[in-house]
A and B are shown apart, each in its own frame.
Chain A
Amino acid sequence: AQTVTQSQPEMSVQEAETVTLSCTYDTSENNYYLFWYKQPPSRQMILVIRQEAYKQQNATENRFSVNFQKAAKSFSLKISDSQLGDTAMYFCAFMKHGVFTSGTYKYIFGTGTRLKVLA
């Protein structure tokens, strides 16, 4: 069974600095997706960034980038130039590719990292 581990329950960073959130996963699948979701204090969760396992290039979305190490099963999120609005709970998630055709849902979340950006 797939598992997702976020070993940092809480982190803090000074405004304008860079922070990296860790995520590791365990799977025997070769084709899958990885995601980082952000849950601000208002609670509505939104997608930050997505990585397809078959792509070698690390995904980037503005100030957010990932370091995807497939062999090590590691998927860390780097936030550059941190802003107060980045304060949130961040969840790493795994999804088996082709899940809808297989009929078995495999969207697994980690336990989250609470990030606080300090002014």
Chain B
Amino acid sequence: DAEITQSPRHKITETGRQVTLACHQTWNHNNMFWYRQDLGHGLRLIHYSYGVHDTNKGEVSDGYSVSRSNTEDLPLTLESAASSQTSVYFCASSEWGQGYEQYFGPGTRLTVT
């Protein structure tokens, strides 16, 4: 069965370190998204991609970057981790003409100390 996976599921890192969160989908979807989930804020969009080599900034993109070199993967990099980036991160994918439903990964809990 097709799925979307994230790794690691839990990560503790120190302020200032570079961190990369992986997202891999086997749906063969063109569209992929990264969100962060914080109490009182719901899900907020960080970055998104509509296809290979396409990336776009969401509403909370500062301090984050993504690159899309193939259809399956959209890794999220925190260039210099800050305590404000402690959060739960979700990756999602979707496809054109399929009702715009997004399929979510299980999430990565990131703690920056």
Chain A residues in the interface with B (C-beta under 8 A): 4, 6, 33, 35, 42-47, 50, 91, 95, 99-100, 103, 105, 107, 109-112
Cβ–Cβ contact A100 & B48, under 8 A: no
Cβ–Cβ contact A44 & B104, under 8 A: yes
Question: Is B43 positioned at the interface, with any CB of A under 8 Å from its CB?
Answer: yes
Main secondary structure of the interface of A (DSSP, over half): mixed
Bound: A6/B45 CA distance, A: 18
State the Cβ distance, A1 to closest chain B Cβ, in Å: 9
9 additional A-B pairs beyond A43-B88, A112-B42, beta carbons within 8 Å, are: A4-B42, A44-B107, A47-B101, A91-B42, A100-B50, A105-B58, A107-B33, A109-B43, A111-B41
**Within 8 Å CB of B43, what residues of A?**
91, 109
Question: Is B102 positioned at the interface, with any CB of A under 8 Å from its CB?
Answer: yes
Chain B 25-64 per-residue mask, 1 if CB under 8 angstroms from chain A, else 0: 0000001010100001111110010100000101000000
**Within 8 Å CB of B99, what residues of A?**
33, 50
Cβ–Cβ contact A45 & B90, under 8 A: yes
Nearest chain-A residue to B106 (Cβ)?
A44
**Within 8 Å CB of A42, what residues of B?**
106
Main secondary structure of the interface of B (DSSP, over half): strand
Bound: A111/B31 CA distance, A: 23
A100-B50, A105-B48, A105-B56 known; A46+B42 contact, CB < 8 A: no
- Total interface residues on B, CB under 8 Å, equals 25
Chain B residues in the interface with A (C-beta under 8 A): 31, 33, 35, 40-45, 48, 50, 56, 58, 88, 90, 92, 96, 99-102, 104-107
State the Cβ distance, A14 to closest chain B Cβ, in Å: 27
A45-B90, A109-B43 known; A95+B58 contact, CB < 8 A: no
State the Cβ distance, A29 to closest chain B Cβ, in Å: 14
**Within 8 Å CB of A111, what residues of B?**
40-42
